[in-house]
């Protein structure tokens, strides 16, 4: 169950949180090789995607950041020896960086839904990302949080972008994944209330623009056990894969602190109350900002939802980090946010990869080096948890 954590006090409680992590598998040289059906058969907590080249695992709800760090690492620790026996590893990136995007490799040829996905979308959906879930069980708060994070989703994509390559070449974007992924339906409103969401979903199902209640592929959406009625969490779907768990937890802390600021002062932070734009204009603004962040991430010019002012993603994030610093300190989240300052200074994975590729490193070598660094990072974090499980490591 998702919801609020902690007890009533003057200090806001941290939200329950959990992750859905999608990962490519492949050889240590960066070649993508699928094995998700076999992995899912061997490990009950790994599941297949329609294409066998990526697999997914989820972490159970827990409000604690140190607890989630271990929950993110533990499934990979179990999976890696199994992969090594097959000459495989986990690969970084959110697109088929080294190929092959020209063919769909079904994980379950007998599954009719997988057949629908292949026929309708092709390899546009063969991506790897991470979905961040934040528990909210009060409907007014949930939909206000959906509105805020829909309007600021571009900031989360700017931090996480890691898909500048496809089929061995640069695409011209920092998040090719977000530009190619088929947003469904094409236009999603800023939901004004739970009832607005229910009515809109039922209308889409009638029109056939959604095949089922899960077929809402947008940057941020409400989620729960019986959509559209029984909801208990907000799901952030825009992020590219953050292969470093500490970077993922830093982005999560940023999003959670924005939600906690909203809950404390809705008049200031709910775009429905604090923006100069109409709800229709806000939805268009958010989608345009997402596309801009996909193209140039931290350097992207974005339209601020409050005033319409143009600001780069990097500067907007820096401003929000400064504003949330007192609350982060109060909640003990300052150290968990620290990786974001390095990302702003040094660039995200896409920017670092593009700089290395421009200096002469081939794309397969970048992915191979990234895979090795990913495994080393996990080992370092696991060792750190063994010595001090409550403290984030740099």
Q: Residue 388: its pLDDT value, please?
A: 77
Whole-structure pTM value: 0.96
> What pLDDT is stored for residue 6 in this prediction?
42
Q: Is the pLDDT of residue 184 over 50?
A: yes
CATH number assigned to the domain comprising residue 373:
3.30.590.20
Query: Do residues 228 and 151 lie in contact, with contact meaning Cβ atoms separated by under 8 Å?
Result: no
User: For residues 151 and 208, is the Cβ–Cβ distance under 8 A?
Assistant: no
- Torsions phi, psi of 310, nearest 5? -85, 130
Gap between the Cα atoms of 316 and 258, Å rounded: 13
- Rounded to an integer, the average pLDDT of 105-134 is 95
Q: Nearest CA to 146 among 181, 193, 110, 106?
A: 193
Per-residue pLDDT tens over the stretch 326-344: 999 999 999 999 999 999 9
DSSP, res 15: B
Kindly state whether residue 351 falls inside one of the protein's structural domains: yes
**Residue 11 placed within a domain:** no
Q: How many domains are there within the chain?
A: 1
Q: Would residue 178 count as lying in a domain?
A: yes
Domain that holds residue 212: 17-387
pLDDT above 70: percentage of residues in the chain: 96
> What is the spatial distance between Cα 245 and Cα 19, in angstroms, rounded to a whole number?
11
Q: What sign does the CA torsion over 104, 106, 110, 114 have?
A: negative
Q: Is residue 349 part of a domain?
A: yes
Mean pLDDT, all residues of the chain? 96
Q: Indicate whether 3 belongs to any domain.
A: no
CA–CA gap between residue 83 and residue 223 (Å, rounded): 32
Asked if residue 394 is part of any domain, the answer here is no
Residues 6+ apart with CB under 8 A from 169: 363
pLDDT of 7 > 80? The answer is no
Position 253 in a domain: yes
In a domain, residue 118? The reply is yes
């Amino acid at each position: 169950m998702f919801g609020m954590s902690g007890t009533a006090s003057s200090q806001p409680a941290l939200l329950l949180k959990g992750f859905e992590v999608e990962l490519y598998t492949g050889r240590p040289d960066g070649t993508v090789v699928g094995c998700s059906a076999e992995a899912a058969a061997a490990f009950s907590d790994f599941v297949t995607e329609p294409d066998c080249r990526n697999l997914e695992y989820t972490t159970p709800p827990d409000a604690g950041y140190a607890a989630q760090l271990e929950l993110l690492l533990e499934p990979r620790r179990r999976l890696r020896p199994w992969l090594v026996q097959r000459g495989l590893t986990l690969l970084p990136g959110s697109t088929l960086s080294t190929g092959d995007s020209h063919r769909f490799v079904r994980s379950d040829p007998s599954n009719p839904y997988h057949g629908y996905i292949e026929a309708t979308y092709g390899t546009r959906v063969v991506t790897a990302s991470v979905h961040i879930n934040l528990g909210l069980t009060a409907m007014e708060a949930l939909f206000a949080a959906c509105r805020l994070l829909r309007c600021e989703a571009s900031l989360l994509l700017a931090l996480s972008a890691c898909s500048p390559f496809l089929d061995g070449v640069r695409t011209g974007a920092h998040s090719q994944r977000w530009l190619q992924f088929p947003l469904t339906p094409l236009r999603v409103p800023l939901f004004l209330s739970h009832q607005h969401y229910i009515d809109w979903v039922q209308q889409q199902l009638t029109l056939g623009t959604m095949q089922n209640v899960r077929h809402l592929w947008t940057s941020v959406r409400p989620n729960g056990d019986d959509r559209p009625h029984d909801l208990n969490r907000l799901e952030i779907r825009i992020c590219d894969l953050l292969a470093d768990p500490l970077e993922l937890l830093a982005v999560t802390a940023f999003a959670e602190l924005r939600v906690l600021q909203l809950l404390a002062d809705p008049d200031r932070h709910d775009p429905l109350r604090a923006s100069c734009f109409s709800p229709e204009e806000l939805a268009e603004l958010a989608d345009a900002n997402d596309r801009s962040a996909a193209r140039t991430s931290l350097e992207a010019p974005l339209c601020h939802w409050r005033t319409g002012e143009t600001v780069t993603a990097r500067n907007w994030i820096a401003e929000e980090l400064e504003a949330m610093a007192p609350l982060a300190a109060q909640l003990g989240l300052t150290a968990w946010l620290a990786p974001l300052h390095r990302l702003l200074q040094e660039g995200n994975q896409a920017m670092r990869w593009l700089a290395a590729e421009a200096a002469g490193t081939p794309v397969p070598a970048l992915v191979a080096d990234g895979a090795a660094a990913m495994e080393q990072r996990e080992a370092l974090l696991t060792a750190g948890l063994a010595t001090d499980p409550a403290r984030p490591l740099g």
